[in-house]
Amino acid sequence: MTKEKRHSIITDMLLKRGSVLVSDLVEKLNVSSVTIRKDLTELEKLGKLYRSHGKAILINPYINNRSVNDKEKISPEAKRAIGHEAARLIDRDDSIIIASGSTVHALARCIQPIHRLTVVSASLVVSEILALNENIDIIQLGGMLRHSSLSVVGQYSEQILHNFSFSKLFLGVDGIDFDYGITTTDMREAELNKKMMAAAQKTIVLADSSKFGRRGFAKISNMEDVDVIITDPAITSQNVQAIEELGIDLIIAR
């Protein structure tokens, strides 16, 4: 088999699976692991895959920090649908936490309570959106402002959470990796998110399908700490199966 043919087969397998083990490629192509590693190195240089711990994946899993304004432009329709589904989970006279990120901004725009709602928010944008509704009591966390996300982080943000208990946390993330967990690009935000999870009875992750198989710099929690994931219909069947096997409730926002 020619090198070009091997490369074509490897690319096709990645497109179908999203990731493939070196050992599977050795068996499939009937060549040595050294040959496969050379093939993967060449394909990585061409930008067609990313090598990671004995396997190849279709996209680079590591995420760079971007401004929330840039994130707002990515998959806006999917985020609106996710926000709408998330808003439906809010109960009468509820008390919730809303973290930060462009997807929770979409949630804030969908919240229209006909009852009293108490919201603790790390995001200045979320608080500004919700302030237009007089039925919502808003507790804005204080602390150091992250300019990229227009949200607060730090010990002052974390301390206030010790005094409250909430039914739900609506959490935006930068990455969902089934082996590693949920992540963000900022370690201060990750620490605040951990405190939010501890203060809430249920953690609801809002993430469009591009977040799966990705990792941010800072880990928030393991997957088993997540109760619900809301995403869009572009999620792969493999990711759906992985979520179901973990016992996490999955809502696909159509």
Around 29, how many Cα atoms within 13 Å sit in the side-chain half-sphere?
Answer: 28
* DSSP β-bridge partners for residue 168: 96, 202
Identical fold, 3-57 and 68-252: no
pTM check: above 0.95: no
pLDDT at 113 over 90: no
State pLDDT tens for residues 168-190: 999 999 999 998 999 998 999 99
Q: What is the pLDDT of residues 119-169, one digit of tens each?
A: 999 999 999 999 999 999 999 999 999 988 899 999 999 999 988 999 999
CATH topology of domain 3-57: Arc Repressor Mutant, subunit A (1.10.10)
Res 6: pLDDT: 94
Q: Are 223 and 246 in contact (CB under 8 A)?
A: yes
The Cα angle at residue 208 between residues 243 and 137, in degrees rounded to 5: 100
**According to the model, what pLDDT value does residue 138 have?**
97
The CATH number, out of the four listed (1.10.10.10, 3.20.20.70, 3.90.1410.10, 3.40.50.1360), of the domain defined by the range 68-252: 3.40.50.1360
Higher pLDDT, 127 or 66: 127
Return the domain boundaries, the chain: 3-57, 68-252
CB atoms within 10 A of CB 223: 19
